[in-house]
Structure 1
Amino acid sequence: MSYGDGDGVEYRAFSADPDIVGHELTHGVVSKTAKLEYYGESGALDESIADIMGNSVEAKNWLIGDLISIQGAFRSMENPKLYGQPDRYQDRYTGPNDEGGVHINSGINNKAYYLIAQGGTHYGVTVNGIGRDAAEKIFYKALIYYLTPYSNFSAMRVAAISAATDLYGANSAQVAAVKKAYTAVGVN
């Protein structure tokens, strides 16, 4: 595995941030489990799940790459718009650049994860957070058991609901949080 050295101006060595190390290692897990196609929505889910698991290594904030970016970070799960990403499905990028928006559109699923874990109100939908630990378990189970190579955001919602149901029961606060979070980001 190799990481960028950074340029010393905008970025330090990429291996200096546990978020990035965890992110890259998670790509290996994705490639051996769901095998998400690295283009469009399935590629954005690949990037988002790598962000989720990478961010969970430190679990100190909601930023990705904050220890290497001299300018701040690469992405924010709490506020994807801060780094030029959409925070709801209606605003997704649909062009050919970035492999159909794999990095750009990862903010949609990252925001759903943030809402599930932390809670909050987003576009008029209030989500009661369930904590990072429960959210991580849901997304990992969704990745391992429910996502397939061409899963899109709608399939991710179904996978997360199924995983939360398996782990916590159909009428649980965890399932309610997943449903509301995906509604908040416009994924039904």
Structure 2
Amino acid sequence: MTDFSSDLVYQYESGALNEAISDIFGTLAEFHDNNDPDFEIGEDIYTPNTAGDALRSMSDPTKYGDPDHYSVRYTGTSDNGGVHINSGIINKAAYLLSEGGTHYGVSVPGVGTDKMGAIFYRANTVYFTSSTNFSQARAGLVQAAKDLYGSASAEVNAVNKAFDAVGVY
């Protein structure tokens, strides 16, 4: 999907955003199909005969060693500048947007998987460009929520709170 819309460059923050979008829409497909949905990534392919493991977790990126807040992001050059590692930051924001919760002292009201997916889809297809970084992604997601639900909507508030919670401004 990303290749044919925003075409995010696969390095650093734009690459991590690319990875997160893939994780988000893979997870949304699980929820849509009611195929034992959860917020774990690759749990059925990583080690299929081992329960309780996955490649990444959207609900708790730190479970597999990935950051869940911008203040602890990876800043090295390995992994194309942390595309897999730093996807945890956007994944956590998406999880909080969907399910709600409190993270780093910020309370986020959840809007559900359908609305979270609609917001990310619109942002990726309308507002993200090939070089979108995390801060620009937040702005695009806020605008997408405004487009879909109105400027003063609970959904816009939830997007802002989700990104506050992961330290992306």
TM-score under structure 1 length normalisation: 0.84
Q: Aligned ranges for residues 168-183 of structure 1 at < 5 Å?
A: 168-183=149-164
Q: How big is the shift at 1:132?
A: 0.3
Q: Report the identity percentage.
A: 52
Q: Take 2:21 and 2:142, find their aligned partners in 1: how far apart are those partners?
A: 16
Q: How big is the shift at 1:31?
A: 1.1
- Given residue 130 of structure 2, which amino acid in structure 1 is its aligned partner? P
* Cα offsets for 1:66-106 (capped at 9, x unmatched): 11223510000000000110000111101010000000000
Secondary structure of 2:102's aligned partner: strand
Name stretches of at least 5 consecutive residues in structure 2 with no aligned partner.
32-36
Q: Take 1:81 and 1:175, find their aligned partners in 2: how far apart are those partners?
A: 27
2:39 corresponding residue in structure 1: 62
Q: Aligned ranges for residues 1-188 of structure 1 at < 5 Å?
A: 29-59=1-31, 60-70=37-47, 72-188=53-169
* Cα offsets for 1:161-184 (capped at 9, x unmatched): 000000000111100000000000
Q: Take 1:32 and 1:136, find their aligned partners in 2: how far apart are those partners?
A: 17
Larger Rg: 1
**Alignment root-mean-square deviation, CA:** 0.7
| Relative contact order higher in (CA < 8 Å, ≥ 6 apart) | 2
Q: How big is the shift at 1:55?
A: 0.8
Q: Take 1:138 and 1:82, find their aligned partners in 2: how far apart are those partners?
A: 26
- Given residue 42 of structure 1, which amino acid in structure 2 is its aligned partner? S
1:9 corresponding residue in structure 2: none
* Cα offsets for 1:83-137 (capped at 9, x unmatched): 1100001111010100000000000000000000000000000001000000000
Q: Take 2:165 and 2:125, find their aligned partners in 1: how far apart are those partners?
A: 25
Q: Take 1:82 and 1:159, find their aligned partners in 2: how far apart are those partners?
A: 28
Q: Take 1:93 and 1:167, find their aligned partners in 2: how far apart are those partners?
A: 33
Name stretches of at least 5 consecutive residues in structure 1 with no aligned partner.
1-28
Q: Take 2:119 and 2:127, find their aligned partners in 1: how far apart are those partners?
A: 11
Secondary structure of 1:81's aligned partner: helix
